[in-house]
Amino acid sequence: MHSYFRSKGYRALMNAAIFNGIGNSLFNIVFIIYAGSLSFKTLAVSLASFVVYIPEIINVFLGYYADNTHHKYKWMVTSRLIQFGLFILLAFLIGMHESLFIFGILLLINVASDCLGTFAGTLELPYFRHLIPDMELNGAMGFENATQTTLQIVFQGLGAVAIVWMNYNYGLFGLINAATFLIAALIIWTRRSIFREIDPQFKVNQSVEKKEPIFSSMLTTGKFMWTKKIIVLLMGFGLMMNTFFSALDGGLVNVTLLHNQQLWFGNYGTSVAIVNISMSVGIVLGSLIQNDFLVHTKFTTMVAYLSLIMIGLGACFISGGSIWPIAVLIFISGYVLGKLNPRASSMFIKLIPDDRLGASMGFLNMALMIGAPIGSAFFLTIANISQNGIVISWIVFVTGMLLTGIAAVIARLKVDESDEEMDGNPNEVEPK
């Protein structure tokens, strides 16, 4: 948070991201509500729920084009102005007579807007290296992570309430959403002198070589990442953790609570809400509070801690005692996870050259995306195969977390995570 008040450039990036996040969070839930009101609601809701993953799936391609964009400042503004235009069009179309064709166009607009938002966010990554000193980068990324998580929690709820208050006027809601993207573009534009000063320092603007073809560039980026042990470590543990956490978030906890009324606090819905809120609050606090007892803890050590907490969580679900130890362990796991995500992002920014940063982050996100459906499908399948499927699923979960913890301890002994390995770009900068 210190960097937010100290650096005008970082503050502009964060403020723009906040309005982008508000727009995305508001409309994602409202679009699901809209899809549920259509005559073909089952198909509509299924498609609307799926398309939100498309920007993450193609993140590596968006990252490639972001890395090879010469005028990054210009496109940070332009992409948001295009989002603004797309939602003006959406506001007009959504009021028309319902049809599968019109809904398909609305889906395309929503996907295109989300992809442009991801593209704009990737364009911003190299600026962090020039706007924020290395010693403050963890805190800056933690603040960003906490902000985005809070926006998702608050504005999805507000969106659901607001659309009812507006008597389901989806067109007007689309116009409000369009305004958030316009404000984001204006915020970046007001600090254009800072970003234009940094732009010439990017490698893509200094090289006169012909742009490397996309698949050749990805192969080169992949080989480069493979030479950095710490990056391989981040991606490996990121994949494992996302596989297990997606199982929790993707239904294992909900299914377990559904079949075990001893764990309920009042009713099923309240119990699910307690678990979800505990995780979200933990992530936000973990991302925001920087100078705590984990400030000097290595990445692999935190993975080991998180594995131990998850083993305890699995034991609580198997024993079926009370919701409160579960809520506490979920909160603690969220707190540690709130440390891990910004730590990984800051390591990437320090280690990866700016002309390969977007594609590299795309590789990381793609690895995480692979883990999500695998984890959800695997554990939920086990939970549904027999009468004792849920208990078996948790036993497998605990075993997997135990192996992950052991792997983290071994990696802690084998891989150097010291700053000496972060030799990509010393970054003692003056805040702008």
Which positions ≥6 away from 313 have C-beta within 8 Å? 326, 329, 330, 333
191 or 425, higher pLDDT:
191
277 or 197, higher pLDDT:
197
What angle, rounded to 10 degrees, do the helices at 72-93 and 100-131 form? 160
Residue 108's pLDDT is 93
107 vs 67: CA distance, rounded Å:
27
- Side-chain-side CA neighbours of 222 within 13 Å: the count stands at 10
* 267 strand-pairing partners: 265
Contacts 24+ apart (CB under 8 A), 310-317: 310/244, 310/397, 310/398, 310/401, 311/398, 311/401, 311/402, 311/405, 314/394, 314/395, 314/397, 314/398, 314/401, 315/398, 317/253, 317/256, 317/263, 317/394
Collapsing DSSP to helix, strand or coil, 321 comes out as coil
Tokens 């390969």 belong to 356
The yes-or-no verdict on residue 420 having pLDDT over 50 is no
Asked if 231 contacts 356 with a C-beta cutoff of 8 angstroms, the reply is no
Q: What mean pLDDT do residues 360-365 have?
A: 75
- Other C-beta atoms lying within 10 Å of the C-beta of residue 398: 19
Digit-coded pLDDT (tens) for 199-257: 888 877 766 566 667 777 777 777 777 777 787 888 888 888 878 887 776 567 877 88
Asked if 125 contacts 361 with a C-beta cutoff of 8 angstroms, the reply is yes
pLDDT band at 427 (very low <50, low <70, confident <90, very high): very low
Residue 430's pLDDT is 53
Residue 289's pLDDT is 82
Tell me if the domain spanning 221-421 has CATH number 1.20.1250.20.
yes
Digit-coded pLDDT (tens) for 170-210: 898 889 889 999 999 999 999 989 998 988 888 777 665 66
Domain 2-211: which CATH number of 3.90.79.10, 3.40.710.10, 2.170.190.11, 1.20.1250.20: 1.20.1250.20
Asked if 106 contacts 37 with a C-beta cutoff of 8 angstroms, the reply is no
Residue 419's pLDDT is 43
Residue 178's pLDDT is 93
404 vs 281: CA distance, rounded Å:
25
Asked if 16 contacts 24 with a C-beta cutoff of 8 angstroms, the reply is no
Mean pLDDT (the chain, rounded): 81
Residue 422's pLDDT is 43
Digit-coded pLDDT (tens) for 78-127: 999 999 999 999 999 988 888 889 999 999 999 999 899 889 988 888 88
Amino acid at 93: L
Tokens 């309430």 belong to 161
Which residues belong to CATH 1.20.1250.20 in the chain? 2-211, 221-421
pTM of the model: 0.73
271 vs 264: CA distance, rounded Å:
5
Asked if 394 contacts 318 with a C-beta cutoff of 8 angstroms, the reply is yes
pLDDT above 70 covers a percentage of the chain that reads 91
Digit-coded pLDDT (tens) for 379-393: 778 877 777 888 888
Q: Which of 25-34, 126-135, 203-212, 265-274 has the lowest mean pLDDT?
A: 203-212
pLDDT above 90 covers a percentage of the chain that reads 17
53 vs 62: CA distance, rounded Å:
14
Which of 236, 310, 256 is CA-nearest to residue 279? 310
Q: Which tokens in the block code for residue 388? A: 């004792």
Q: What mean pLDDT do residues 308-320 have?
A: 89
